[in-house]
Amino acid sequence: MSYDPPRPAGRLLLTPEDKDAPARVRRLRGLGLGERSEPAFDAFADRLAEVAAAPYSMVNFIDEEQQFFAGLHTPDGGAKGAGLAAAREGGELELGRYMARDHGFCPHVVVRRKALVLEDVCDYPRFAGNPVVDEFGVRSYLGAPLIDRTGIALGTICVVDVEPRPWGQAGLRTIKSMAAELVERLERREGVHGI
């Protein structure tokens, strides 16, 4: 696996090179995904947060430049609008619908094409320097890729917490199962969008 050169920031940050991004973008556009939020994706994120007992969850589609949270759950139900910025106010994580590709852990999941469990991101030097750790206080992550029938990783589903979390094997099974469920739903869109 190759990586983009480190960014000239305070910490070493290695965002994985994503050679599949152009094909992913074509596939997402063909399915009508990745450009607007939908109530069904927000409902899925709400259910994912409930099942995982996590304060934040996302359905995330990734293109060459950014991540788009088509489904988003936050503890207060906020950030359902189309705000471009993600900000931290009063110590609470506040997410908008878009995030830079070099923020967070979902781009790693898409490139790896495997689930990622980080019970405490600070235990992993490669991930501890990610901007979401300092900017938003993210301490725990659990995500799985959304790989469709064509073999393209369209994006991810994930849950995050501001406290370390022992996700364990049960969490891993849950995130993988819910990813498979969402992929089935996404593939039903093909007839609607003429693919």
pLDDT at residue 10, rounded to an integer:
42
d(CA 77, CA 162): 17
CATH of the domain at 132: 3.30.450.40
pLDDT at residue 102, rounded to an integer:
85
120, part of any domain: yes
Which residue is associated with the tokens 């094997």? 169
pLDDT at residue 150, rounded to an integer:
93
pLDDT at residue 95, rounded to an integer:
61
108, part of any domain: yes
pLDDT at residue 16, rounded to an integer:
80
Which residue is associated with the tokens 């430049």? 65
98, part of any domain: yes
pTM, 2 dp? 0.82
d(CA 11, CA 111): 22
Q: Considering only CA atoms, which of 66, 87, 80, 78 is closest in space to residue 155?
A: 66
pLDDT at residue 191, rounded to an integer:
62
11, part of any domain: no
15, part of any domain: no
86, part of any domain: yes
d(CA 145, CA 113): 6
For the chain, give the secondary structure using H, E and C: CCECCCCCCCCCCCCECCCCHHHHHHHHHHHCCCCCCCHHHHHHHHHHHHHHCCCEEEEEEECCCEEEEEEEECCCCCCCCCCCCCEEECCEEECCCEEECCCCCHHHHHHHCCCEEECCHHHCHHHHCCHHHHHHCCCEEEEEEEECCCCCEEEEEEEEECCCCCCHHHHHHHHHHHHHHHHHHHHCHHHHHCC
R_g over Cα of the chain? 16
1, part of any domain: no
14, part of any domain: no
How many domains does the chain contain in total? Answer: 1
State which residues form the domain around 159: 21-188
**pLDDT < 50 stretches in the chain:** 1-13, 80-93, 193-195
pLDDT at residue 143, rounded to an integer:
97
